[in-house]
Amino acid sequence: MKKYRNWLLLAVVMGIVVAACGGGDGEGATTTAGETATTGEGGAAGDTGYENLDAALAGEFDGTTVDVWAQWLPESSEASNFTYTLEPFQEATGITVNFQPTPDYETALQVAVDGGNAPDIAQIAQPGKMIQYGDAGSLIDIGSWINTEKLEADMVPAFYELGLFNDSVHGIYYKADVKSIVWYPVQGFADAGYTEPTTWDELTALSDQIVADGNGNPWCISIESQEADGWVATDWMEDILLRTAPIETYNAWINHEIPFNDPEVLEAAELMKQIWFTPDYAYGGNTYINATWIGETQDPMFAEGGPQCWMQKQAAWIGGFWGANRDALADDPALPQTEWPIKPETDVDFFYFPPIEDEFGKPVLGAADMFVQFEDRPEVRALLEWLATPEAAAGWIERGGFLSTLNTVPPESYVYPNTELSVLVQEATTLGFDASDLMPAEVGAGTFWSGMIDWVAANGENTEEVFQGIEDSWPAG
């Protein structure tokens, strides 16, 4: 027992000694992203139209910190670009923006919010999530303090409206994605004499042509995305439905005013089957569609002997995943597009996913990232206001891969492909927001996804069963 008494004494003594040595200065510094020493050239001082931002630019919040979480991970090009974009703000206002890219975002953010440890501002990709957080009472009502007139005037109306919850702004949209585009190999098309189709019939005719020529398969399609498996299929359904039914039907579908398996929707499904399940249309057949990771979908387009598949419908972020681009960007996320091994525009270009029925014009399907607010302080407000200005888009636009939700950004400031995309958005007859992001999560991130996977596994033969199943799963009330 003597031994233990000595230990005890030692512990007590150590405890006293070390406690007595206590007392230091400042807390452990949290790392900040991209803070530089140069004096600001940032936004214009004076009247921006947003009062908190004005105060910030006048230096009133110098030395404060704002925490921003996003799902763009540190080594990704999005994170690198966002950090770059934030620099002018930090220089001009002296506010430190603590940008925390967070892995396992879905879980981490939710636990943090529920556990009382929420960040000041968080990026989210689905309006549905904003509604969930709003229902739980976790969000700060942005509309209660921001200059809503200016915000509404500056933003593309569709995006402004989607940020509303209980008729007040709760989310500020920032970065948009256009989904209604199809990528194709420039040289391949030229060599084989193919041209960009401008109608649905031309699209299917081109597909038949490619099959007849024995040049591989016309379509590169795949949907495997680990936990988020199946969402690519939902995009196709939505894009087709926008082209075969009026926007009112589309919105009614989202709000469950018509059943999920409404005849109009099933008609759209038949058209989708035409591309996905016609024999020899899709490279590798339905097995490839379910088995191949979305980052590798288009790899056969860059095969050594010439393209083995010729068209992929996907938003512009896919460029970073084309074959050798994956490795190049892994080495250097800030690599400009002009230096990619497979270059957008010159090697691979896109055409607009053609309309199907003329009466519905040229709809565009899109989605966007928004910022919501969990904590309320003046400097947090200042940053949110800034994120709604063109300056917040400038840095990222310059680097490429960014399409703003504001209508105050001139198309000329964009680089390919966003120059064309912003025009596409402006000229769209209808702008549909990704339906699965708007439906209740049980469906939009649940049975719609899994239903599509089952549909593919059955090679499209159980359409009615699948859509009925999704309809049945719609949460009551």
Asked whether position 228 contacts another protein by CB under 8 A, the answer is yes
Closest approach of another protein to the CB of residue 424, in Å:
22
By CB under 8 A, what part of segment 257-296 binds another protein?
283-285, 287-288, 290-291, 293-296
CA distances from 381 to 70, 324, 373 (A): 17, 42, 9
Report the residue number, 136 or 190, with the smaller CB distance to another protein.
136
**Residue from 149, 327, 339, 358 that binds another protein (CB under 8 A)?**
327
Token pair listed for 293: 């990771």
Residues 313 and 305 sit within 8 Å (Cβ to Cβ): no
Comparing CB distances to another protein, the nearer of 72 and 360 is: 72
* Contact by Cβ (8 Å): 65, 117: no
Interacting residue with another protein among 201, 270, 375, 442 (CB under 8 A)? 442
Stretch that binds another protein, among 152-160, 199-207, 326-334, 348-356 (CB under 8 A): 326-334
- Structural contact between residues 66 and 121, judged by C-beta atoms closer than 8 angstroms: yes
Provide the minimum distance between the beta carbon of 305 and another protein in the complex, in angstroms, as a whole number: 12
Contact residue for another protein among 171, 230, 307, 355 (CB under 8 A): 230
**Site for another protein, residues 328 to 367, rule: CB under 8 A:** 329-331
When asked if residue 8 is in the footprint of another protein (CB under 8 A), the reply is yes
Task: For the beta carbon of residue 38, count every other beta carbon within 10 angstroms.
Answer: 7
Query: Based on CB atoms, which residue is closest to another protein, 43 or 320?
Result: 320
Strands 65-70 and 96-101: parallel
Asked if 200 contacts 355 with a C-beta cutoff of 8 angstroms, the reply is yes
Interface with another protein (CB under 8 A), residue total 94
- Choice between 228 and 423, CB closer to another protein: 228
| E strands present in 238-317 | 309-313
Q: In whole angstroms, how close is the CB of 360 to another protein at the nearest point?
A: 31
CB of 330 to another protein, least distance (A): 4
Nearer Cβ to another protein, position 102 or 207? Answer: 102
Tell me which residues in 82-101 interact with another protein (CB under 8 A).
100-101
Task: Report the alpha-carbon distance of residue 163 to residue 177 in Å, rounded.
Answer: 16
Closer to another protein by CB, 59 or 74: give it.
74
Q: Which two tokens stand for residue 376?
A: 């309320």
Nearest Cα residue to 369 out of 66, 72, 104: 72
In sequence order, which residues have a C-beta less than 8 Å from that of residue 275 and are 6 or more positions away? 203, 204, 207, 219, 221, 236, 281, 282
Hey, which residues between 102 and 131 contact another protein (CB under 8 A)? Answer: 102-108, 110-112, 114-117
Element (H, E) at 175: strand 171-178
Question: Which residue matches tokens 């925490």?
Answer: 67
Neighbours of 409 (CB within 10 A): 20
Q: Half-sphere exposure of residue 421, counting CA atoms within 13 Å on the CB side?
A: 30
**Residue 4 near another protein by CB under 8 A:** yes
Smaller CB separation from another protein, 27 or 412 = 27
Nearer to another protein, 344 or 363 (CB): 344
Interface residues for another protein in 39-78 (CB under 8 A)?
A: 71-78
HSE-up of residue 145 (Cα within 13 Å, Cβ side): 17
Question: Can you tell me which of 34, 398, 453, 471 binds another protein, judged by CB under 8 A?
Answer: 453
Q: Which stretch binds another protein (CB under 8 A): 200-208, 319-327, 350-358, 385-393?
A: 319-327
Helix (H, G, I), strand (E, B) or coil at 70: strand
Strand partners of residue 253: none
Q: Give the pair of three-digit tokens for residue 423.
A: 């025009």
With respect to another protein, which residue has the nearer C-beta, 202 or 280? 280
Binder of another protein out of 51, 441, 459, 468 (CB under 8 A): 441
Q: Are the beta carbons of 312 and 298 closer than 8 angstroms?
A: yes
With respect to another protein, which residue has the nearer C-beta, 180 or 222? 222
Longest dimension (CA), the chain: 94
Can you tell me which of 15, 263, 336, 411 binds another protein, judged by CB under 8 A?
15
List phi, psi (to 5°) of 69: -110, 145
Alpha-carbon gap, residue 153 to 109, rounded angstroms: 31
Rounded to whole angstroms, the Cα distance separating 263 from 458 reads 21
Region binding another protein by CB under 8 A among candidate stretches 8-16, 146-154, 343-351, 401-409? 8-16
CA distance 454 to 369: 29
CB of 147 to another protein, least distance (A): 32
- 366-385 residues in contact with another protein (CB under 8 A) are none
Stretch that binds another protein, among 16-24, 56-64, 262-270, 354-362 (CB under 8 A): 16-24
Chain positions 22 to 41 lying near another protein, rule: CB under 8 A, are 22-31
User: Binding residue for another protein (CB under 8 A) from 40, 440, 463, 468?
Assistant: 440
DSSP state of 282: B
* List 226, 339, 410, 412, residue binding another protein (CB under 8 A): 226
